[in-house]
Structure 1
Amino acid sequence: MTRSAKPELLAPAGDWEALVAAVQNGADAVYLGGKLYNARQGAANFDHEELQRAVDYAHIRGVKVYVTVNILLSDEELEDAARFLHFLQQAGADGVILQDLGLANLARQVLPELPLHASTQMTVHNRAGVEKLLALGFRRVVLAREMSLKEIRDIKEATGAELEVFIHGALCICYSGQCLLSSMIGGRSGNRGRCAQPCRLRYTLVDERGRPVVDSREVGEYLLSPRDLNLSGHLPDLIRAGISSFKIEGRMKRPEYVATVVRIYRNLIDRAMVEEDFYITPEEARDLAQIFNRDFTTGYFYGRPGYELMSYKRPNNRGLFLGRVVRYHPHTRRAEVALEEPLRVGDGVEVWVSRGGRVGVEVHAIWEKGRQVEQAPAGSVVEISLPREVRPQDRLFKTHDAFLMERARATFASPREVRKRPVTFHVRVRLGEPFRVRVEDDAGHSGLGTGLTPAQPAVKRPLTPEFLKEQLDRLGNTPFALKDVRCELDDNVIVPVGEINEARRQALEEMEAAIIKSARPAPPLPEDVFARRLAGARVKATGRALPAGWSPGKRPLLSIAVTDLASLEAAVSAGVDQVYFGGESFRSGPPVGEEEIRRGAEICKKHGVRFILSTPRIIHDPEMAAVERLLDLATNLPAQGVLAGNLGLIDRVARTGLPLYADLAFNVFNLRTAAYLLDQGAVQLALSPELTMEQVAALVSGGHFAAEVLVQGAVELMVSRYCALGSLLGGLAPGRNCSSPCCGRRCALKDRVGAVFPLEVDQFCRMHLFNSRDLCLVNDVHKFAEMGVAALRIDGRGRGAEYARVTVDAYRRALSLNPAGDAGELTRLRERLQQYSPAGLTRGHYYRGVE
C-alpha cells in the first residue's frame, strides 16, 4: 500500500469536546460549523471566539480545520456570509465547505486566498460536474454518497482532483442537496440546515388504491431509513482509488462516538499503508458496532445494495447483540440471560420483546450464581433487573458499553494530551549570561526563551544535563513530548529553577505561534482590502439571451414537464407555450425513446409550441453516453433548448448550440447563483421552490433575466438511488437483479398520519418521491405576472394526459382573467384542480417560507 498517497482522516466536531476527541484520537483534519450558515444547526457549533480557538488548537497539533458554510443563502445573507468567510480566512481556517453556487462565485471574487471545498450538498456525481467545480475555483469536491468505487476511481484518474468521500456514519436516502421532504412536510429545510429527518419515520408501501403491498410486521416500517455506512474493512480499495480524504459523518454525535470511530480508523488507515494483508480485528469491529449502528452497509461503493442498504425495523441505534432471555422471575422482577458478550454494571441494554415493543434499562446490578458481581464474561448466565415481564428467547442488545465510553472519554475529558509533538531543547548556560533555551520540533518550528539573571558560580549543586532534562520534560498538559535535550553548559554554574521554567514556557509559547503562523493557507487578508473587493463585487444577473416568445413586461409563458407522449399532446392542445419532454421517463407509463421524442417535437412545432428536451437531474458517468445521444438528437431535430439540472451537463449543452434552461435542481436561491448560471449560457432559470413570494419578487426585479417558478403539481421531494419497489418487491440485493415490479405499476408511501406520497421509478431505476398534496398557485398567476416572472411551470410528470389537459387549460384561463373582477372564477378553477389532488392542495413555501 505504500505506493499510494496516504489519505486524510477527516472527523466531525459538533462541539468543543468532539473537536478534542477527534484531534486526540488521531484525526488529520476536522470539519465543524459556526453558529450560522451550516447544515447542522442542531449541533452546538462554534462562535467566532471558539472558532479561532479551535483553529489554533488543531494547528498546534498538526490538524487541519474545515468550516462548513453549506446551506443555500438568500441575497440578504450573502454579504454577511462573505464577511464570515473573511473572518475564517483571517482565523487561518484550512478551507470552507460550500453548497451555494452564488456564495462560491462571490468567494472567488473577494477571497481567492481561501480554499473552497464543494459540499456533498452540491450533488456532484459525475466527472463533468467535478471538472466544472474545478473551473469555478474549488480545491476539493465532496462526492455524492451514491457513487460506486469504480466511478470515483475513474474520476480521479481523469481529473486528478482532490476527492473526499464519506466512509462511516449515517446515510441520507436522497441525493444530498435534492431533498425537500423535511422542508415540505414541516417547513424545516435540509438545504438550510434544519432537516428534521422525516425519512427515519414509519411508512407503508401501498398501491394506487392505498392497500399495503408488503407486510410491515414482517419487513419493518422504516422504509426510508438506511443503515449506517461502514467501510472499515475496505480501506485498501479506497486508498488505491486515489481518494484524498476519508470523511466520518457525525457532527450531531456525542464526543465518545467521535473518539471511538476516529481511533479505530486511525489504526486501520495506518495499518493499510504498511500491511500487505490488511485486516480489522474483532475488537475493532465490535467497538464500531457498539458505539452506534443501525446495522451496517457498504453503501453504493460495490454496486446497488437493494434492501441490504436499509434498516427497515428500526431507525436508531440497535447496539450489539448481547444474548437471549432464558427465563423471567416475576417475584424478583429479574430476567435470566445467557450472555454472548461481556456485561458490566453501568451498561445499557434493550430487550426486543416478542410482544409489546422494546424494554430499555441501565444495568445497576448483576447476579451470577446467586452472588452479586460487577461484571460477567461472555458465555455466562446472569440475572438482571427488568421493569416488565419478558419471555424466553427474547433478544437483548447492549446499547451502551460503560467501559468503551470511559475509554473514549479519557481521551478528551482530561487536560493531559494524548497526541504529542516531539520537541528538542537546545540549552545554553554560560557563566555571567542569562539562561537561554531554544525549542524546536521536527518540522523546524522553533521558539526562544531566556532568563533574567546571569548564571552564577554554584556553591553546592551545579546544573547538570540530567537536571535540565528533568526540568524541561515537565510537559504533561502541553501538546509536546520531549525528544532530546542538547546542552552547552559551563562547569559549576547555577541559575534559579523558576527562570528555567519560565524560559521553557516562553520558548514553547513562541514555537506555538510559529506553528500557527506556518499552518495558515495564506496570510490574513486586511479588512480594508476585503471591504474594497466586496464593494466592487456588486452583481446584476443580466441574461445574455432570453427565451423566444418572452420579454420583460410580457405575460408569463406556460410550461409543463411531462413523461409520456399522450400528456404532451394533451398539453399542446390545451394551449401550453413550452414543453419539457424526452430525457426523463417513468416506468409506470409507456417508455420514451427516440421515436417518441421526434414525434413530440413535431407536435410542438406544428402548434407553435416550444419543445425543450428534458434531462435527468442525476446522471452518473455510465449513463452519460445515453444522455449525450439524446442531446445529439435534440440538436438535429432541432429542439428549442435543453432543460438541465446537472453541473455536468452545462458544457455539453453548450457544445450543442442549443439554449440552456436551468432546472430546479440547481437550487437558485439568490441573484449570484442566477448570475453564475447566466454566465454559463442559461436563458431561463427555474427558481428554488423554497423561496417565498417576496424573495421571488426581489430576485426577478433584481436581475434582468427569465425566471421560471413551479406553480402546479406534486413537488418532487426526493430522488434516490435506492428503490423501495425494487428492494421490497423486486428482490434487488447484491448479486440479485431486480424483477422490475415498477413497470406499468404505481405505488406510494403512506406515512403514520395517512398522507400518501406517490413514487415513480425512472429509466435509470432511480426512485422519485412526490408530495402528497399538489402545489397549486392558480389564484396567484397575476402576482407572478406583475413581478415579471417569465414562465409558470406545471409538473405533470407521471400524471397522465387528462391531468396535463386540465391543468394547462386552468392556468391558461387564469392568465386571461382580471384578478380583481374574476376572483370567483379563479376560486372555481382551484376547486376544479383540487379534484386531481385528493389529499388537498398546498401553496408550498410561497407564503410560509422555510426555517
Structure 2
Amino acid sequence: MKIEILAPAGSYESMRAAMNAGCDAVYMGGNRFGARAYANNPDEDTLLKAIDEAHLRGKKLYLTVNTLVKEDERLNLLYDFLEKYYLAGLDAVIVQDVGVMRFIHRHFPKLPIHASTQTTITMAEGAELLKSVGVTRLVTARELSLKEIKNIRDNTDMEIETFVHGALCYCYSGQCLMSSMIGGRSGNRGRCAQPCRMPYRFFSENKLISSENEPYLLSPKDINTLALIPELIEAGVSSFKIEGRMKSPEYAAGVSYIYRKYTDLYLSKGKEAFLDFLKTSDYKNDMICLMDLYNRGGFSQGYGKTHHGKSMMSMTRPNHGGVRVGEVTGYEKGYAFIHLGEDVYSQDILEIRNNDNQPVYEFTVKDDVSKNDMLKSRVGIIPTKSKHRKYKNYTDIKNGYTVYRTRNNKLLDHIRDKFIKTDVKQDITGYLYAKQGEKLQLTLSLNNHYVTAYHNAVEPAIRQPMTKDKLSASIGKLGDTLFKFKELIIEADDNIFIPVSRLNEIRREAADMLSEAIIGAYHRTEEELIKKEEPKLTNRMSINDMRMNDMSINATSINVGVSTKDQFEIVLTYPDITSIYADYDGFTLKQLTDMAKAAAAFGKAYYIMLPHICRLKTYEQLSKDAAVLLEHDEVSGFVIKNFEEAELLSRLFQNTGQQRHLRLNHNMYIFNKDAKQFWRKKGIHHFTAPAELNENELRTLDLQDCELMVYGYLPVMVSVQCLHENTKQCNKCQAGTLRTDFLVDRLGKKFFVTTHCNGCYNIIYNGQRLSLLGQADKILDLQPEAIRLDFTIETSKEMKSVLQAYRDVFVYGKKSFPEFDNITYGHFKRGVE
C-alpha cells in the first residue's frame, strides 16, 4: 500500500523543499485560475520547469484550476493557459467548476481531474455525478467524519484525498461569499481576505452573549491528524493533503517530513507499534515542531471524530499561537525572570502574554537557554523620544504571565540545511565500458529508463594508465544533477588513457540524456489534444425576438422563496407571483404538503428549496420525505443546492417513474455555458444565476434559462459550527425552527445567523439586503427566465412592501418605487476580479 503525502507549494522553492522532505506530490497554482492568487505562484516558464523537475524526482505535480471561471475566460484564456502544461506532462488538475471540468475533459482528455474540496462533495452519490467529466479523485469536504469518508470509500472507486493538516475554514469550502460581499475579494476566485479571522460580537434576542475575551468567533484552530493516520487509512484515504500554499518553504518541508515519517511508521510496523510510538518523547518533540511551524491556539484533530464545538476554535487569537516555553516568575527594574519549560535558542522570538492570552511584549533571545533553567532578559521597556531617557519601564508584566515562542530559529535553520540547501537525489545504475580501440560508452539507468552515451575510441596509455578508481571518481561526480550512483560498474582494460575532460563530457551527456528520457516519458503530443474551438458569435437579437414571440416564456415571472408560514400565506395573496419556493428546513413534512395544496388552489407553482448541505443523515431523511412529496402532484419541483440532492432526485425519479422540474440554486455557481451543459446532461435545464457576476458577465452567460436573484439577504457562510453552542450552550432548537440572531463586526456591520438543527448547520447572511429594484431596466434588458425574491427574517409589513414594489415595477412597468434602506446592489455593478 502506498499513501500519498501531498504538500502545498506556493512557490518553486516550496516545491523543492517539500519533495526533499519526502512528499510524493505537490499542488501548485499558476498565474491564473488558482484559489491562492496571493501566493508566490510561478510564471509559465517556472511552472514548466517545476513539472519536469517533479518527474525527474519521481514525484507528481498537480495544478490548481480551482476557481470559478467566467464565460469569457473559458472561451479566451483557459485553453491557452493549460495547453503547454498538458503537453509537458502535468499529472492532474484540481478543479471546482463543473464547467471547467467539462471543458478540460473535452479538450485535454488524458488529463486526470481531481474534484476540489470547493465542490462541497459530502457523499459518494455526489462524487459519482462527476465521473462523466473525467474526475478520478475526490477531495472530500473537510467537515466529514471518518465514518462518512469510509462510506464514500465503500460506494465509489474514485481515489480519496483528505486534508490532514493546516488551516481550517469556518465555512464549508465553496459555500463562502463573505469576503466577496464585504470587499469584493472572492474566495471562489482565489482572493479571500479571510474575514473569518476578524473579531465579531454575537447577539441573541438583542443581548450580547459572546465574551469580550473571545472575539474571534469564526476562527478555527489548525488541524493536526498525525495521531489519526491509522484510522484515516482504514477509512480509505489514499492521499494526505497538507494545507499551506501561503506558508513558507520551511513549513511545507517540515510538515511533509513528519507526515511521511508517521505514515511510513504505520505502514511498516502496524497499528499497535504506531500507537505505542505516540507515547514516546519523540512524538512529543515532533508535535512541538509542528506547533513551532504554525498553529492557531493549538491544534484540533478536525472533524474526523468531532462533529463540531468550541474545542475546535481559536477564539482568543486568530494567527500563529507559537509554543508555550515558560512562565514569568519575577519582574524587576526592566528585567523579566522566566522559568523555562522548553529549550530556547539564540534568535528565537518570544512573546509574553497576559491572562487573557493577549500579547504584552515581544523580544528576541540572545543565547541558548536549556529547559528548567531561568531566562533573564531585559524586557518590559519601550523606547522614548527623549534625549535624556532612552527607555521607560513598561510595567504591564506580572508574575504568572505565560511566555510563548513564535519563531524557532534553530528549527528553521535545521530545515533549511536538510531540505532546502541540499537536494535528495535519485539512485541510478551506471555501466562504463572502456576498451582500448573501442568507443568509450557510458550507460545510465533509472527504473525503466536506459540511455547510452558514446565518445571517441579509448587510447593506450603512454605514461600513467587510467585506473578503475580514477574512472569511478570522475564518472561519479554527478554534481548538481538530481542523480547519484547506487551502483557503478566499470569494465575497462588495464593500460588505457582517457582524458578527464572526455570523462566529464560523457558523464554530462549521459546524465542529460537520462534526464531527457525521464522527462520525455511524461510529455504528451499535440495529437492528444482536442483543438480549441473558436468563440461563436451569438445573434442575441434573434434569441430575444424568439423569446418575445414565445408567450410561454415570461421575462417578468416572479418566483418567491419563503421561510415561514406567515410569509407563505402573504405570497398566496399576490396573483402575479408565479412560483413559491418553500424552504425545506423551515417546515415540517405535513406543512410542506399542506402548503403544496394551498399553492395549487391559488394557481401557483410550488417548489421545495432543499438544504444547503446534504450529509448521510440528511440524505436518508430527505430520501423518505422526497418520496412522500412526489406523491403530491401539487409539488411542481425542487431547488437543488448540492450534488447529493441532484443525484438523490435523479435516482428517485428513475425508481418511481415520477418527474418534476429541477432548478439549481445560485450557490451551484453556473459561471459559464459549459457548466450549463454539464447539468443539462444530468437532466437539469433551469438555473439560478450566481451572485458574483456583474451585468455584462450575466449578459455573456445568457439568462434565458436562468432566474436572477433580485432581492434577499444572501447567505455568505454555511458552517457546521454552531455559534450558540460555541458562545453559550447548545439550546437544542426544535426541529423545523429557524431562530435568527446576528453577528457584528469591528466596523459595526451586522450579519444575521440562522440555526438549522435538522441538518446541524448555521447560515450567516449578509446584513444588507440585495435589492436590484433600481436596476429594473437593465434586468429586463437581460431577459432572465424569471426574477427571484427570497425572504428570511423580514416582518410581514416589510415583505408586503417589497412584493408590492417589485410587482409594480416588473409586472406593471411603473417607474417610481419606494426607497428601501440597508440595501446593496451586490455584484450586479462591480462584479469580482
Q: Same fold (TM over 0.5)?
A: yes
User: Hey, what's the Cα distance between the residues in 2 that align with 1:302 and 1:482?
Assistant: 46
- SS of equivalent residue, structure 1 residue 513: helix
Matched residue, 2:51: 55
Structure 1 residue 782, shift from structure 2 partner: 3.6
Q: Match for 2:448: what amino acid?
A: G
Correspondences of 1:239-638 after superposition (within 5 Å): 239-276=233-270, 277-278=273-274, 279-280=277-278, 281-294=283-296, 295-330=298-333, 333-354=334-355, 357-365=358-366, 374-386=367-379, 387=381, 388-389=394-395, 390-414=397-421, 416-417=422-423, 419-441=424-446, 443-452=447-456, 454-520=457-523, 523-526=524-527, 530-531=530-531, 533-535=532-534, 554-575=554-575, 576-585=577-586, 592-638=587-633
Q: 1:357 to 1:487 in 2, by over 3 A?
A: closer
Deviations 1:251-295 (A, max 9, x none): 000111111101111111111101122134111111011110002
Does 2:714 match 1:715? Answer: yes
Task: Decide which of 111, 115, 131 is 2:112's aligned counterpart.
Answer: 115
Does 2:825 match 1:843? Answer: yes
Unaligned runs of 5+ in 2: 382-393
Q: Is the 8 A contact 2:478 2:507 kept in 1?
A: no
Q: 1:122 to 1:100 in 2, by over 3 A?
A: same
Structure 1 residue 744, shift from structure 2 partner: 6.8
Deviations 1:57-82 (A, max 9, x none): 11100110000111111111013112
Unaligned runs of 5+ in 1: 366-373, 586-591, 733-737, 835-839
Matched residue, 2:723: 724
Q: Is the 8 A contact 1:761 1:767 kept in 2?
A: yes
- SS of equivalent residue, structure 1 residue 17: helix
User: Hey, what's the Cα distance between the residues in 2 that align with 1:360 and 1:431?
Assistant: 75
User: Hey, what's the Cα distance between the residues in 1 that align with 2:730 and 2:463?
Assistant: 87
Q: Match for 1:289: what amino acid?
A: M
Structure 1 residue 675, shift from structure 2 partner: 2.4
Q: Cα RMSD (Å) of the superposition?
A: 2.4
Matched residue, 1:659: 661
Q: Match for 1:483: what amino acid?
A: K
Q: Is the 8 A contact 2:65 2:95 kept in 1?
A: yes
Deviations 1:532-572 (A, max 9, x none): x53499999999xx99x995763321112112222111112
User: Hey, what's the Cα distance between the residues in 2 that align with 1:564 and 1:134?
Assistant: 38
Q: 1:641 to 1:251 in 2, by over 3 A?
A: same
Q: 1:778 to 1:744 in 2, by over 3 A?
A: closer
Q: 1:680 to 1:803 in 2, by over 3 A?
A: farther
- SS of equivalent residue, structure 2 residue 371: coil
Please give the TM-score of this superposition, normalised by the length of structure 1. Answer: 0.90
Matched residue, 2:391: none
User: Hey, what's the Cα distance between the residues in 2 that align with 1:540 and 1:114?
Assistant: 34
Deviations 1:99-147 (A, max 9, x none): 1111111112111121111111111111111101122221111111111
Structure 1 residue 799, shift from structure 2 partner: 3.5
User: Hey, what's the Cα distance between the residues in 2 that align with 1:53 and 1:502?
Assistant: 24
User: Hey, what's the Cα distance between the residues in 2 that align with 1:469 and 1:742?
Assistant: 78
Does 2:755 match 1:757? Answer: no
User: Hey, what's the Cα distance between the residues in 2 that align with 1:240 and 1:413?
Assistant: 33
Task: Decide which of 37, 41, 47 is 1:41's aligned counterpart.
Answer: 37
Deviations 1:786-835 (A, max 9, x none): 3211111111134454444332222112224445xx3xx22x2x33xx3x
Task: Decide which of 788, 793, 797 is 1:793's aligned counterpart.
Answer: 788
Structure 1 residue 37, shift from structure 2 partner: 1.0
Q: 1:401 to 1:692 in 2, by over 3 A?
A: same
User: Hey, what's the Cα distance between the residues in 2 that align with 1:354 and 1:582?
Assistant: 45
Does 2:196 match 1:194? Answer: no
Matched residue, 2:129: 132
User: Hey, what's the Cα distance between the residues in 2 that align with 1:329 and 1:56?
Assistant: 59
Structure 1 residue 670, shift from structure 2 partner: 1.6
Overall identity of the aligned pairs, in % = 30
Matched residue, 1:78: 74
- SS of equivalent residue, structure 2 residue 585: coil
User: Hey, what's the Cα distance between the residues in 2 that align with 1:598 and 1:237?
Assistant: 43
Q: Is the 8 A contact 1:447 1:511 kept in 2?
A: yes
User: Hey, what's the Cα distance between the residues in 2 that align with 1:622 and 1:461?
Assistant: 82
Does 2:803 match 1:808? Answer: yes
- SS of equivalent residue, structure 1 residue 216: coil
- SS of equivalent residue, structure 1 residue 176: coil
Matched residue, 1:370: none
Q: 1:23 to 1:362 in 2, by over 3 A?
A: farther
Q: Match for 2:342: what amino acid?
A: E
- SS of equivalent residue, structure 1 residue 768: strand
Q: 1:38 to 1:360 in 2, by over 3 A?
A: farther
User: Hey, what's the Cα distance between the residues in 2 that align with 1:106 and 1:727?
Assistant: 43
Q: Is the 8 A contact 2:705 2:785 kept in 1?
A: yes
User: Hey, what's the Cα distance between the residues in 1 that align with 2:764 and 2:771?
Assistant: 18
Correspondences of 1:191-230 after superposition (within 5 Å): 191-209=188-206, 211-217=207-213, 220-230=214-224
Q: Is the 8 A contact 2:687 2:706 kept in 1?
A: yes
Structure 1 residue 630, shift from structure 2 partner: 2.4
User: Hey, what's the Cα distance between the residues in 2 that align with 1:490 and 1:403?
Assistant: 52
* 308-317 or 76-85, larger mean C-alpha shift: 76-85
Q: Is the 8 A contact 1:325 1:337 kept in 2?
A: yes
Matched residue, 1:30: 26
Does 2:708 match 1:706? Answer: no
Deviations 1:316-354 (A, max 9, x none): 001000111112222xx2211000011122001111135
Q: Is the 8 A contact 1:348 1:363 kept in 2?
A: yes
User: Hey, what's the Cα distance between the residues in 2 that align with 1:144 and 1:356?
Assistant: 31
Q: Match for 2:831: what amino acid?
A: G
User: Hey, what's the Cα distance between the residues in 1 that align with 2:539 and 2:564?
Assistant: 38
Q: Match for 1:754: what amino acid?
A: G
Q: 1:795 to 1:149 in 2, by over 3 A?
A: same
Q: Is the 8 A contact 2:292 2:408 kept in 1?
A: yes
User: Hey, what's the Cα distance between the residues in 1 that align with 2:361 and 2:789?
Assistant: 50
* 345-354 or 595-604, larger mean C-alpha shift: 345-354
- SS of equivalent residue, structure 1 residue 581: strand
Q: 1:291 to 1:540 in 2, by over 3 A?
A: farther
Q: 1:609 to 1:810 in 2, by over 3 A?
A: same
Q: 1:355 to 1:668 in 2, by over 3 A?
A: closer
Paired residues, number:
796
Q: Is the 8 A contact 1:552 1:790 kept in 2?
A: no
Q: 1:761 to 1:572 in 2, by over 3 A?
A: same
User: Hey, what's the Cα distance between the residues in 1 that align with 2:539 and 2:401?
Assistant: 66
Matched residue, 1:837: none
User: Hey, what's the Cα distance between the residues in 2 that align with 1:665 and 1:312?
Assistant: 28
Correspondences of 1:5-24 after superposition (within 5 Å): 5-24=1-20
Matched residue, 1:644: 640
Structure 1 residue 238, shift from structure 2 partner: 0.9
